[in-house]
Structure 1
Amino acid sequence: MDSVPFPIRTLISSHFTNLSQKSQITMESFLQPRKSHIIGIIATILILGSVGIRVAECRAARRLASIDYPAISCRKHSAVLTDFGGVGDGKTSNTKAFQSAISNLSQYASDGGGQLIVPSGKWLTGSFNLTSHFTLFLHKDAVLLGSQDESEWPLLPVLPSYGRGRDAPNGRFSSLIFGTNLTDVIVTGNNGTIDGQGSSWWDKFHKDQLNVTRPYLVEIMYSDQIQISNITLINSPSWVVHPIYSSNVIINGLTILAPVDSPNTDGINPDSCTNVRIEDCYIVSGDDCIAVKSGWDEYGIKFGMPTQHLVIRRITCISPDSATIALGSEMSGGINDVRAEDITAINTESGVRIKTAVGRGAYVKDIFVRRMTLNTMKYVFWMTGSYGSHPGPGFDPKALPNITGINYRDVTANNVTYSARLDGIEGNPFTGICISNVTITLTENPKKLQWNCTNVEGVTSNVTPQPCDLLPLKEKIDCPFPDDKLPIENVQFKTCSSSNF
């Protein structure tokens, strides 16, 4: 497929499936051999001079060396982490240096904004908070290392749309990079790395030693105009990128890596967000590569904030035990108007999977998917109406989700075990399913029942192998995909400069 953003290399799953739950992906073992990746995203890199003397105050200094990069906003003021006592030896904690630098730069929010540059080095840090009209820029040889000291991870209350933590009923640790109630915030670089050093967190999870929920790598809440781009994120303790209760979010050019047996290392989880663009990302994960969410049972129903107007394109996923794109299972605020195209998956459990259950309420509707290329899959199509984890016994058994308007077209899948497993809810079928122009080639030992369908309604056209009777053939149709553009697709990047290296 011409639009796939990365070469499909034989990389791949055998290397990761042999990793133990304690193992972590290292820069040496994975990143060094990999070619420069985000096609069409990084602007031309210009080296304009040798490294100059770093300035010690935040000001628009004469550029001695600069790198141009794409961003939604450029900044007038710039500083380097070492200006605030940062030490890049991989051993010294830089939590206070990050906090001091960001606090200092926050004074420029109304005067062109501030930019913090993390230069080459290994920068050990605990959690720190971003500010508005701010850019965090990681040099290509910069590595942020998540601290192993729990005291450097502040505790936060549970999310109101979830009612409890995902790992434990109590609170949750703040993410490594966190922000709330922000406007115009950017986390970017020329492929610098954020390493969550998640192995110790995975061990605690498996040993049931957690009283609160593990931290994520990047979480931004109640915010508007967010860009997360052109960085590598590895070994997250749990979810990797989590925008929640936010709008106008662009996530692009990310490389996200975790051992395929690491628990709950979802790649990108847009959660109760509006106007989101996710594109040109390469994800190897122990869970769903992209998981679209909007709250959990009665808490999500009460909070009532959907994820809507979401475009996902040019994504490559490897996740042997999970989905390329999951819708749910926490979808109790609703999921609406999702457009996914030019999706590649290799050795992944399923393509686009819908996960819901009695008690979720709300809806998943108007989902449009086209041009998927899938290789070595358990399922091509998978919908589950009995994904039954609940935050507690208080869910309403009468809160039935409405799953309708689900459209797939132009899919090629090879080495497949099951073509489809589509299980709606008895008395509450999933409706308006349309599947067209699909060619599935089976593994040497496929399951005899290729299309397992219950409580679903819809149509198919030009699909091989032949679908189930609940999705009867309708000649010569193409399932719909919107022609209009979402507002977030029209957002253009500016060319900004990172200087003072």
Structure 2
Amino acid sequence: MNKEYTLADFGAIGDGQFDNSEVFKRAFESLQKGGLLRIGAGEYLSGPIHITATNLVVEFETGATIRFIANENLYRPFYSRWEGVNCYCMHPCLLINESDGLIFRGKGIIDGSGPWWWATAQQKRNTQKGPVSAIETELAKLNPGYERQSGGGGGRQSQFLRPPLLQIRESNNVKIEGLTIQNSPFWTVHPLYSTNIILKDLSVINPPDAPNTDGIDVDSCSFVTIKNCLIDVGDDGIALKSGSGKDGVAVNRKTSDIIIEGCTVRHAHGGAVIGSETAAGIHDVVVRSCFFDGTDRGIRIKTRRGRGGHISDLHFQDIRMDNNLCPLTVNMYYRCGSLDAEDFSLERKPVTPTTPHIEHVTIEGCTSTNNRSSAAFIVGLPESPIRDLVISGCTFTVADEHLEPVSESEMYEGLPITEGRGIRLRNVSLTIQDVIVQGIAEEYVIEEDVVLTRE
């Protein structure tokens, strides 16, 4: 490593007031071919940061914070993927793009100044039907046909396509370790089209009511390790995705070879989540020795007609879950973002390239306590039932107080109402062994097209 600098060498002022945008630009341009950049204690205000480099180490000293300016006009249109669809969207706050061999480490903080973004997104969701602001109008022109694109509920119809806080795009061999990453405008940590990524000992923090602030979204990536992270956010905790619908099928870049280990997730919509953007497939995933504390769902697989993709070879092991609405959900009637009521039909539909498929899923040695809505929700499609699901050595315990409606078990549409709080089964082939369901009289709610094998 032949270059070592401090951020102060480039004129940085860490007083929380000075705009360091040009400072970061000079620093990372100087280090494109490698080196070490130390960021000293202080609060460094900045607009979006774009990094393209090789063999670069960025080291945060204790007390170092990068805080991004909350001004939508700074985040110029950038072609990336937003809620599963390739399009122009706001430039990420911190972007690692087309890079190889980067390490970000230390006890510092990356802060996205989220409150303005969250309040604005909520207001637009409630009052705005289409683009209004200058950046929204510009994005709408760059994204013809956006009105017909589905989303996850983040705001595609207004084209208020908020920036993720940290995106790792088209990059290899990137390690992010020890940092606190917080107050994201949108998704927080978003590896995209990348390989060999390590996310270790991170704290990813957003308020529980901050909209669409997923913790970590691994999107069309391979060979990713997420280890010993604390995730406390306002949407899904750790999610695996691979594109949505026809666009995701056409791009055809899967997510595979993922390890999630030793992580704690709190207050999220789901702990370890597959989907709902699943078009190119998600395969060969291991989630083990994690704790999902107060998340709405624990282990969560979600997709629907129109999302597409094969989901297979998932292994969840030794997961502890407490105070969830529902600890285990496999949902092929996920409701958010759909523009077509036929997505939720109970009738058998033709299998198309955007029909999702789920098979070869193993859940073993998992325990849940204080489930407030139901023990589990497992619902496939009539034309694409869930196949080869195995649950072994697991205990699910429904709470005896502070119960919530069974319908809160998952975010679904089109299914009949049920009152049973046991394991709901529909369009699934399931093998169970040494499974205990406690706190209710009826362990299973068995509906249509269920093949249940007890061993």
Q: Which amino acid aligns with 2:233?
A: S
Q: 1:380: which partner in 2?
A: 327
Q: Which amino acid aligns with 2:256?
A: Q
Are 2:47 and 1:126 equivalent residues in the alignment?
yes
Q: 1:348: which partner in 2?
A: 295
Q: Which amino acid aligns with 1:152?
A: L
Q: 1:195: which partner in 2?
A: 111
* CA shift in 2, pair 1:391/1:452, >3 Å: closer
Q: How far apart are 1:360 and its partner, in Å?
A: 2.0
* CA shift in 2, pair 1:304/1:390, >3 Å: farther
Q: How far apart are 1:308 and its partner, in Å?
A: 0.2
Q: 1:366: which partner in 2?
A: 313
Q: 1:474: which partner in 2?
A: 454
Q: 1:77: which partner in 2?
A: 3
Q: Which amino acid aligns with 1:413?
A: S
Q: Is the 8 A contact 1:160 1:299 kept in 2?
A: no
Q: Deviations over 1:50-109 (max 9, x none)?
A: xxxxxxxxxxxxxxxxxxxxxxxxx44211111111000001000100000111122xx2
Q: Which amino acid aligns with 2:163?
A: P
Q: Is the 8 A contact 1:161 1:294 kept in 2?
A: no
Unaligned runs of 5+ in 2: 129-157, 344-349, 407-419, 438-442
Q: How far apart are 1:438 and its partner, in Å?
A: 0.9
Q: How far apart are 1:153 and its partner, in Å?
A: 2.1
Q: Is the 8 A contact 2:83 2:277 kept in 1?
A: no
Q: Is the 8 A contact 2:298 2:326 kept in 1?
A: yes
Q: 1:432 aligns with which of 372, 388, 401?
A: 388
Identity between Structure 1 and Structure 2 (%): 28
Q: 1:490: which partner in 2?
A: none
* CA shift in 2, pair 1:162/1:397, >3 Å: farther
Superposition map of 1:193-342 within 5 A: 193-208=109-124, 211-320=159-268, 322-342=269-289
Q: How far apart are 1:161 and its partner, in Å?
A: 9.1
Superposition map of 1:10-25 within 5 A: none
Classify the secondary structure of the residue corresponding to 1:449. coil
Q: Which amino acid aligns with 1:197?
A: S
CA distance in 1, matches of 2:179, 2:317: 27
CA distance in 2, matches of 1:373, 1:160: 32
Classify the secondary structure of the residue corresponding to 1:251. strand
CA distance in 1, matches of 2:177, 2:292: 21
Q: Is the 8 A contact 2:238 2:272 kept in 1?
A: yes
Q: How far apart are 1:181 and its partner, in Å?
A: 1.4
CA distance in 2, matches of 1:123, 1:268: 24
Q: How far apart are 1:178 and its partner, in Å?
A: 0.4
Q: Is the 8 A contact 1:358 1:397 kept in 2?
A: no
Q: Is the 8 A contact 2:425 2:444 kept in 1?
A: no
Classify the secondary structure of the residue corresponding to 2:162. coil
Q: Which amino acid aligns with 2:47?
A: G
CA distance in 2, matches of 1:228, 1:330: 24
Are 2:15 and 1:89 equivalent residues in the alignment?
yes
Q: TM-score, normalised by structure 2?
A: 0.81
CA distance in 2, matches of 1:197, 1:271: 24
Q: How far apart are 1:157 and its partner, in Å?
A: 2.3
Q: Is the 8 A contact 1:460 1:471 kept in 2?
A: no
CA distance in 2, matches of 1:219, 1:357: 26
Q: Is the 8 A contact 2:46 2:66 kept in 1?
A: yes
Q: 1:114: which partner in 2?
A: 35
Are 2:377 and 1:421 equivalent residues in the alignment?
yes
CA distance in 2, matches of 1:192, 1:471: 51
CA distance in 2, matches of 1:365, 1:246: 20
Q: How far apart are 1:234 and its partner, in Å?
A: 1.0
Q: 1:46: which partner in 2?
A: none
Q: Is the 8 A contact 1:256 1:267 kept in 2?
A: yes
Q: 1:402: which partner in 2?
A: 357
Q: 2:77: which partner in 1?
A: 155
Superposition map of 1:37-186 within 5 A: 75-106=1-32, 109=33, 113-130=34-51, 131-159=53-81, 162-163=84-85, 171-186=88-103
Q: Deviations over 1:169-225 (max 9, x none)?
A: xx3111121022111112221x11111110101111111166331111110111111
Q: How far apart are 1:152 and its partner, in Å?
A: 3.0
Q: Which amino acid aligns with 1:372?
A: I
Q: Is the 8 A contact 1:80 1:118 kept in 2?
A: yes
Q: Is the 8 A contact 1:296 1:390 kept in 2?
A: no
CA distance in 1, matches of 2:69, 2:247: 32
Classify the secondary structure of the residue corresponding to 1:98. helix
Q: Which amino acid aligns with 1:426?
A: P
Q: Is the 8 A contact 2:430 2:453 kept in 1?
A: no
Q: Which amino acid aligns with 2:292?
A: A
Q: 2:426: which partner in 1?
A: 454
Q: How far apart are 1:139 and its partner, in Å?
A: 1.1
* CA shift in 2, pair 1:87/1:345, >3 Å: same
Q: Which amino acid aligns with 1:129?
A: H
Q: 2:435 aligns with which of 445, 463, 475?
A: 463
* CA shift in 2, pair 1:360/1:274, >3 Å: same
Q: How far apart are 1:474 and its partner, in Å?
A: 3.0
Q: Is the 8 A contact 2:292 2:298 kept in 1?
A: yes
CA distance in 1, matches of 2:25, 2:337: 37
Q: Is the 8 A contact 1:296 1:391 kept in 2?
A: no
CA distance in 1, matches of 2:83, 2:400: 44
